[in-house]
Amino acid sequence: MANIVTDMEDGRDQLIRIVEDAEHIAAFTGAGISTESGIPDFRSKDSAWKRHPPIPFEEFMASETARMESWRRKFAMDDSFKDAAPNTGHYALARLVAGDRIHSIITQNIDGLHQASGVPREKIIELHGNGTYAKCLGCGVRHELAAVRNRFEASNRAPQCLCGGIVKTATIAFGQAMPNEEMRRAHAATLQCDLMLAIGSSLVVYPAAGFPVLAKENGAQLVIINREETALDAIADIVIRAPIGEVLAPFAGRDRLN
């Protein structure tokens, strides 16, 4: 039975102790770590994603109309959080990485804010890709979003690569295969850790949510930091049910949010 903590001081104290005692820590992050940066998460009530839901991969591939709609939604969402910057939660994890306490951040996020907070790229495992640039699905070449947007708005056609391939954000859409190398790295990091911190995820999206489960099965301790119940609370050692920035502030060298 998980120890559910709702008192902030108690949660912070327990977290500091468990982090001090661990040898190999992996963080597993979800959309909730970026809400304090102004990027809405997926499942919270009134989420902007409900007005601009992502188009599933099969639909995106099936028609140019779907691809154009997908780009329209992408640019509309980007406009609404174009100034997003890392927050206390991101900086806390960056300090724990810099201090050699966290060896990997496995993230479901596509916003690039772990990189922006100073975490070296090789310490970040992006299970669902990255939405800050695009890629050709044919030849794999990278396309910058500003150029894609200019071409899209000027031509009113779904962007294509010079090779004729379909251009898509470098994210993993619903229905698209998971990236092999990231899955392999996440698996290795999970098996290596003796503590996994699952932060800001409803823990319902699989296969990603399989990593906290695997960590626990492999003997690691699992701490969940999330303001609402998650699907894995029952198997966690500690559940800290509170705002992420406030819980992690001591690790960022602060005692308050932002």
Q: Is residue 86 helix, strand or coil? A: coil
> In what side-by-side order are the strands of the sheet with 195-199?
3-5, 238-240, 221-225, 195-199, 25-29, 102-107, 124-126
Closest to ligand NAD by CB, 24 vs 75, is 75
Residue 11 contacts ligand NAD per CB under 6 A: no
Q: How far is the CB of 226 from ligand NAD (least distance, A)?
A: 5
Handedness of CA 179, 190, 204, 13 (dihedral sign): negative
What are the φ/ψ torsions at residue 126 (nearest 5 degrees)? -95, 100
Residue 19, judged by CB atoms within 10 A of its CB (0-12, 13-18, 19+), counts as middle
**34 belongs to the binding site for ligand NAD (CB under 6 A):** yes
Q: Is 243 in the site for ligand NAD (CB under 6 A)?
A: yes
Q: Which helix (H) or strand (E) holds 25?
A: strand 25-29
Give the footprint of ligand NAD on residues 109-128 (CB under 6 A). Answer: 109-111, 128
- Whether 90 sits among the annotated catalytic residues: the reply is no
Among 115, 117, 169, 202, binds ligand NAD (CB under 6 A): 202
Number of shown-chain residues binding ligand NAD (CB under 6 A): 27
Name the residue nearer to ligand NAD (CB basis): 201 or 221: 201
Please pick, from the candidates 2, 24, 44, 179, the single residue that binds ligand NAD as defined by CB under 6 A.
Answer: 44
Q: Which residue's CB is nearer to ligand NAD, number 75 or number 194? A: 75
**What does the binding site for ligand NAD look like in residue numbers (CB under 6 A)?**
30-32, 34-36, 39, 41-44, 49, 108-111, 128, 200-202, 205, 226-228, 230, 243-244
Tell me which residues are annotated as active site. 128
